[in-house]
Structure 1
Amino acid sequence: MSAEIIEIFPSNPDERKIRQVVECLKGGGIIIYPTDTVYAMGCDIFNTKAVERLCKIKGIKPQHNNFSIVCHDLSNIATYAKVSNNAFRLLKRALPGPFTFILPATADLPKIMQTNRKTIGIRVPDHTIPQRIIEVLGNPIITTSLKDDIDDIIEYPNEIEVIYDQNKDKADIIIDGGWCGIDPSTVVLAIDDDFEVIRQGVGDFEEINR
């Protein structure tokens, strides 16, 4: 069955539609949703079958996954990642915002999300739709961006019609939240206090690391 497109306005998210998305996630569904950078694909981190399905879609093994998770706010992060005092100060300046921080994972992270690297990527996007979904769901969701590999040019699709055509048989719900962007988040390695940008994206690391 093809994915359902649900339009949600970021300025005033419809609570009925938010609950519909949350029920989909609880039932093992996969959603495509807007963030403050690009559209992303994700599922409930505590639904093992959904994570396995997402890994199959992305063509990776669960134990080798490099997914990041989207948390509702800073208080949510400490459950799933170990954050030093210096890292917390940095995260407080950066989040919500267009950054992904790679941090040491805690044992509270679902087993299927734990890898040999013992790290986890953390996102708190500055976008009301994923924030509200996670708040109602009660726990983080996975974030993995949508990409096309066409003639060796990596593109992040932004138009819902294109996203639907490419993912209608992969996702259960595609949220039309309007324009996002075409550039991903900036990824910062923060497993110790020697912070390092490993992918430059939208976020300006120098601005938050002063």
Structure 2
Amino acid sequence: MAQSFVVHPQNPQPRLLKQAGELLAKGGLVAVPTDSSYALVARLDDKTAADSLRRLRGLDERHHLTLLCRDLAEIGHFARVDNRQYRFLKMATPGPWTFILEATREVPRRVSHPSRKTIGIRVPDHPVALGLIEHAGSPLISTTLIPQDEDEPLNDAEEILSRYANQLAAVIDGGPCPLQPTTVIDLTGPEPEVVRRGQGDLSALGLD
């Protein structure tokens, strides 16, 4: 049965985030609020948890999972970033954007795209998500919490708990999130390419 941690959305209680981080360390999946929508997260180094995450969402290996990082420096550890990409990332992070970048060897092959060797990476602009990453001690793999065969992400922590009580280790209730996933931007080409429109003002990045 999933645990429920009700936290303040702007000043989440460290004690509760620590407990959620301990559940991640034991191989559990956790639902966490972000600046785009609720997301499912697991530890990067846990193959079983990653498989469970894909299975719960109904995703195949070609679907990009997203790596939630604390800051730009951490992005550079898990993705190859040239000067042009770095300037763009510096302008856009933190925020509701997911960037497709070439993965480094620090990213397990099971997480990166099987043919392109790319990974989705973002720095969320949400105290709860950032606090959980901090307590986990490393970036977390994630995917938007959209139920299998549905189109809209879930936004209510109680509904998430009732629907996935036996599949999640915990739900962190930080109140409602926006009902849109992140905007996905591919930075592997000569120019940024918008792959999916979601949260965020593209004009602020010079892309609209």
Query: What's the RMSD between the two structures over aligned residues?
Result: 1.7
CA distance in 2, matches of 1:180, 1:47: 27
Report whether the alignment pairs 1:166 with 2:158. Answer: no
Instruction: Give unmatched runs, 5+ long, in structure 1.
Output: none
Q: Shift of the alpha carbon at 1:169?
A: 1.9
Contact 1:65 1:113 in 2 (8 A): no
CA distance in 2, matches of 1:193, 1:203: 22
- Give 2:193's aligned residue: 196
Per the alignment, in what secondary structure is the counterpart of residue 101 of structure 2?
strand
TM-score for both structures, normalised by structure 1 = 0.92
- Give 1:208's aligned residue: 205
Q: Shift of the alpha carbon at 1:118?
A: 0.4
Kindly tell me: are residues 198 and 65 of structure 1, through their superposed partners in 2, closer, same or farther at Cα, counting changes over 3 Å? closer
- Give 2:35's aligned residue: 36
- Give 1:110's aligned residue: 108
Deviating above 6 A after TM superposition, structure 1's stretches of 4 or more consecutive aligned residues are none
Q: Shift of the alpha carbon at 1:105?
A: 0.7
Q: Shift of the alpha carbon at 1:149?
A: 6.1
Q: Shift of the alpha carbon at 1:136?
A: 2.3
Per the alignment, in what secondary structure is the counterpart of residue 50 of structure 2?
helix
CA distance in 1, matches of 2:23, 2:163: 20
CA distance in 2, matches of 1:182, 1:75: 29
Residues 92-119 of structure 1: CA deviation (Å, up to 9, x unaligned) = 1111001000001111112321322200
Contact 1:147 1:156 in 2 (8 A): yes
TM alignment of 1:4-23, pairs within 5 A = 4-23=3-22
Q: Tell me the percent identity.
A: 36
Q: How many residues align?
A: 206
- Give 1:120's aligned residue: 119
CA distance in 2, matches of 1:21, 1:193: 40
TM alignment of 1:26-65, pairs within 5 A = 26-61=25-60, 63-65=61-63
Q: Shift of the alpha carbon at 1:48?
A: 1.5
CA distance in 2, matches of 1:148, 1:64: 18
CA distance in 2, matches of 1:143, 1:162: 19
Contact 1:18 1:132 in 2 (8 A): yes
Q: Shift of the alpha carbon at 1:192?
A: 2.8
Q: Which amino acid aligns with 1:174?
A: V
